[in-house]
Amino acid sequence: MVSISLLGTKIGMTQIFNTQGSAIPVTVLKLGPCFITQIKTTSSDGYNAIQIGYLEVSTKKLNQAELGHLKKANSPILKHLKEYRVTSCENFKLGQSINVNKLRVGDLIDVSSKSIGKGFTGYQKRHNFSRGPMSHGSKNHRQPGSIGAGTTPGRVFPGKKMAGRMGGCKVTIKNLQIIDIHDNNDLVIVKGSIPGKPGSLISIKRKENI
C-alpha cells in the first residue's frame, strides 16, 4: 500500500444534482501537476518518503538554497514543497510528474488545509459556552464564570477553555468522496466542504495498491 498524495488549491464550493434530483454540496479542487523533488530511502535517511512540489513561480520568489535544491531534482521552480511517507520508493523517480490521472471517481481522500482565521474570539464563539442571564441587574452576560479554585491549587490549569485566537490552524477532513474528475483542467470535485478559503493551499492523500 502506498499513498497517492497531491498538493493543490481550493477553488470554491457549489452544488450539483444527482440522477434522483437531489442537490449535493461539493467543493472544487485544483490538484497538481506536482513534481517529485526529493526521494528519501531507508538506507540514506532512515525512512522512505518522497517530497513533491507544486505551483510554478519565477526564480525571484525563491532563495539560492531553494533554487539549488530544485535544480538538483531537475524540476521546475516550485513554491510549495511537502514530504509524504511511502512504504517503497521503487516506483518513483526525481522530476516525475504526478497529477489527477491516478485518482478515480468514487475514491475516498483525506484533505488537509489551513482553516479560516477568526481572530481573537470569546467563550461563546470559540467553545460554545452558554451565556449568562440577560435580566436587569445581571453582570454576567458573556463572562466565563469561575476558572478554578482559590488557595488550592492557586493557579489555572493549562488547557482551560478560555477566550483566545480561533481558526488559522491545520484541519484534516477524512474520507471525502470524489464525485467527478476533469483531467484536462486538473480539477477534482469532492462531496462536502473542506477547511480554508478559496485560493488556499490544500493537501490530499489516498490509499492505493500498486
For 41-58, what is each residue's pLDDT tens digit? 999 999 999 999 999 999
For 198-203, what is the mean pLDDT?
95
Arithmetic mean of pLDDT over the chain: 91
In this prediction, residue 88 carries a pLDDT of 84
83 HSE (CA, 13 A, CB side): 8
pTM over 0.85: no
Q: What is the pLDDT of residues 128-187, one digit of tens each?
A: 999 999 999 998 899 988 899 999 999 999 999 999 999 999 999 999 999 999 989 999
**What's the chain's length in residues?**
210
**Domains delineated in the chain:** 2-131+160-208 (2.40.30.10)
Which pLDDT band, with edges at 50, 70 and 90, does 210 fall under? Answer: very low
CA dihedral 88, 36, 31, 68 (to 10 degrees): 150
In this prediction, residue 3 carries a pLDDT of 63
Q: Where are the beta strands (DSSP E) in the chain?
A: 2-17, 23-31, 34-40, 49-56, 78-85, 97-98, 108-114, 119-121, 164-166, 170-182, 187-191, 201-208
